[in-house]
Each structure stands twice: as C-alpha cells, then as structure tokens.
Amino acid sequence: MHDPRALIEMGSEAVRRLARRGYTLDLSALESLQSRRSQLITRADDLRAESKRVAQEVQQVARQGGDTETLKGQARDLKESIRSAEAEQDQAQQELRDLLLTIPNLPLDSTPDGDSDEHAVEIRRFGAPPSFSFEPKDHVDLGEALGILDFTRASKLSGSRFSVSRGPGAAIERALATLFLDLHTKRHGYVEHAVPYLVTRQTMTGTGQLPKFEEDLFATGMGDRELFLIPTAEVPLTNLYADEIIPPAELPLALTAHTPCFRSEAGSYGRDTRGILRQHQFSKVEMVRICDPEDSQAQLEKMLSHAEACLKELGLAYRVVQLAAGDLGFSAQITYDIEVWLPSQQTYREISSVSDCGSFQARRAGIRTRDEHGKTKPVATLNGSGLPIGRTLAALLEQCQQQDGSIVLPEALVSYLGFRRISADGTTEA
C-alpha cells in the first residue's frame, strides 16, 4: 500500500509510472480524499480541544458557585459533535484506504515497456535444450505410461485440474522438496518454517492478494471465522512479521517453507489445462527475504541465484527474463522469471518468479525497522519460487526422457530416491 502523501507529492510522475503497468491513477480523487481526511482530523482535534476548555470552565464556575447548566449543555453538544466528526473521519479514512488498496506497486523505470510475456527481456540462458532423435512426449503421456501420474482418478476425487502422483512419481516429488529445502537452508542460509495453510483476510491483504484477487482464492470458514487457503507460502511467511519492528541488526531475514498452494485460476480457463502446469492445488518451496529498502536490489539478485541453483543442481536447461512493467504482479516493482525448457512444446515456460516488492507489502502489513536515527520505517520484502514441485517434475520427465520411454534422473536426486532410472514399465533401477 502506498503513502498517499508520497503519491500526491510525486504527482504526474506517479501517474506516468502506474500508466506503464496499465493502471490509471485518479490523482484528483486521491488528493480530495486525503484533503477531506486531513480536514476532518483537524476538525475533530479542534472540537476535542474546545470540549476540554468547556469542561475546565464548568469546573471553575462550579467552584465559584455559579450556574453551570448552559456550559454543561455546550459540553453535551460538543461531545455529540465530536462523535459525529470522528465517524466522518473514520469514513473518510476507510474510503482513502479502500482506494489505496487497489493501487498496484510502482514499477521501477528499469523494467521494460510492454504488457505481456512477449515484451519480457531475456537476461541469460543456462544449458542447451536437449535434442532427441525421436519425437519427445509431453509429461502427461510419459507420466501415465509409466504409471506415476493419474489424472483420471484425480478427476474422480476432485474434478478437473488436480492430479495424483504414485510410486516413483510421489517419491520424486518428495525428493525434490527435500533437495530444494536442503539447498536453501544448508547452502543459501534460509530458515525453514512450517506455517498454517489457512490464513485471515487481514493476512491476505498484507501481501496484496486482497482485495483485488479475491476471485482467485479459495475461501472457507469455521463458525464465524473467515479463512482463506494460501495461494503461496509467501503469504504466511511475509506476514509472520506483520505489525512488528525488526531490529536493523537482524536484517536481512531469509525464510523458506514447503507448502501446498491453492488457486482457483479464475480467468485462465483454456490455458494449460493439460497436465500439471496449472492446477488448483500444487506444492511449492517458497523463499522470502526481508531487508532494508536500500538493500532490496542486491537481495533480489541473490534470491534469483538461489532459485537458479535448484535448476542447475538438476541440470535442467532454462533461461532468465525480466518482466515488462505491464506484466508485473500487483505487489512487485521488478520481477525476474525463470523459464525452463519443455521439449514437448519446444519453448521455455515459467517455473519461478522472483520479485522485489520494495516497501509496498510492508506498508500494508505494518512491517518496520529503524533507521540510523532510531525512527521507524517500512522494510522491503522479496519473494520467489524455489521451486514449484509439479512444474519441476514435468520438466524432469520431458528433458530426461529416453527413446524407450524410460526416464534417467539427475545424479542430485539419487541420494534422496535410491534409484536413478524409471523403466518404461514403471519399475525403478539404481
């Protein structure tokens, strides 16, 4: 969430930067709400000061034996005026907050122009896409033929966009999660967390999922409690420090968690409906970093290298792109996507997004630190996938497939799995 005074002070510059991501800032409406709120605060303060003066005068007149009825009437009228002014102030504050909650983060000027993945700028590539002497199959055909992915029975359980992994498939998913967590905790310095999968509306609002993306969430409740299934561990991890002041000496914080993620994928019907690329429930290892705002760009590059390390460990071919301003997520000011090569599609597909949100989420969630003078200020928050389990499994099956339908897995997984090869009949071999 933005500081309204900062947006107003930026003026046309804020309008320009938001226009790059397709958002039209109504600066006059913002100025009007901010001015009305300020006027009502001043009016309420003035009324409280007058009420205090009249109360003192009542006491003075009473001590002198004078008639206080008129003054008491004034005091009653002032109390009613104060209640009315405070109600108007609360209403104005809520209207201003409602507007601010809908304004996305300002993209950095270093982000490319454009509004789709076609305008992303390639930064680098790692590994050569595998070449095959045969027509490569997609992960669905491979997984079903091996008996390690079952979409038919998943549909029987839950409908479309769910999957069941079995045998070696389930083992690979477990191994991937453990490998990624080991990399992040033992090599990259993250602290692993086990977090709730159900969170409050306030928690969702803190990281920017609400109010804008409510249709993308799965909501539930217990009695009079409203709760939401998390779409990513970014939500609980970042909000662990909501309404707290983090000592500067403790920054940066590096947090990670492996959780299921739940997304309704509203508006995406017809896209990636085949297989495990876009599902209502999937598993992911998430990274979150919290730091001083002046350090956020360096932390972004560090987090990007941590996500890349997961793919390098597996020997998967990928590329890194920087997203265009109009294609950024709501809370991000700059984002890198890592795209893994999928032979069946002969293209790179997104497997991780790594974003610097600046102080945008911290303002919404009330996460602060102190400057060199001891004054509080918002921190910066960053998040990134490191990595999603399903999409990594899909890339592994497709890049590691053999002509006979078997899969030869990377060495990095063998110590976790106890096998290296899945034969065409679904059996495993060391």
Is 339 known to sit in a ligand binding site?
no
| Residue of 165, 355, 391, 398 marked catalytic | 391
| Residue of 350, 420, 421, 423 marked catalytic | 350
Is 43 known to sit in a ligand binding site?
no
Q: Are strands 368-370 and 407-408 parallel, antiparallel or unpaired?
A: unpaired
Is 263 known to sit in a ligand binding site?
yes
Q: What gap in Å lies between CA 218 and CA 176, rounded to an integer?
A: 26
130, exposed or middle or buried, with CB in 10 Å at 0-12, 13-18, 19+?
middle
* Residue 42 zone, left/alpha/beta (φ > 0; ψ -120 to 50; rest): alpha
Could you tell me the strand order of the sheet in which 281-291 lies? 121-126, 318-322, 334-342, 347-356, 380-388, 281-291, 253-262, 191-192
Is 344 known to sit in a ligand binding site?
no
CA angle 131, 134, 139 (to 5 degrees): 80
Is 259 known to sit in a ligand binding site?
no
263 is catalytic: yes
| Residue of 165, 283, 296, 353 marked catalytic | 353
Closest C-alpha to 209, from 240, 237, 230: 230
| Residue of 174, 278, 349, 421 marked catalytic | 278
Burial 352-376 (b: 16+ CB within 10 A, else e): bbbbbbbbbbbbbbbbbbeeeeeee
Could you tell me the strand order of the sheet in which 428-429 lies? 407-408, 421-422, 428-429
Q: What gap in Å lies between CA 374 and CA 368, rounded to an integer?
A: 11
278 is catalytic: yes
Is 286 known to sit in a ligand binding site?
yes
Q: Are strands 149-150 and 164-165 parallel, antiparallel or unpaired?
A: antiparallel
Is 265 known to sit in a ligand binding site?
yes
Is 430 known to sit in a ligand binding site?
no
Is 232 known to sit in a ligand binding site?
yes
Q: What gap in Å lies between CA 50 and CA 48, rounded to an integer?
A: 5
Beta-carbon contacts of residue 348 (< 8 Å; ≥ 6 apart): 318, 319, 339, 340, 341, 342
Q: Are strands 121-126 and 149-150 parallel, antiparallel or unpaired?
A: unpaired
Is 429 known to sit in a ligand binding site?
no
Token couple for 50: 């007058």
391 is catalytic: yes
Is 244 known to sit in a ligand binding site?
no
| Residue of 17, 20, 161, 263 marked catalytic | 263
Is 353 known to sit in a ligand binding site?
yes
363 is catalytic: no
Binding-site residues: 232-234, 263-265, 286, 350-353, 385
Q: Which residues are catalytic?
A: 263, 278, 350, 353, 391
Binding-site residues for L-serine: 232-234, 286, 385
Binding-site residues for ATP: 263-265, 350-353
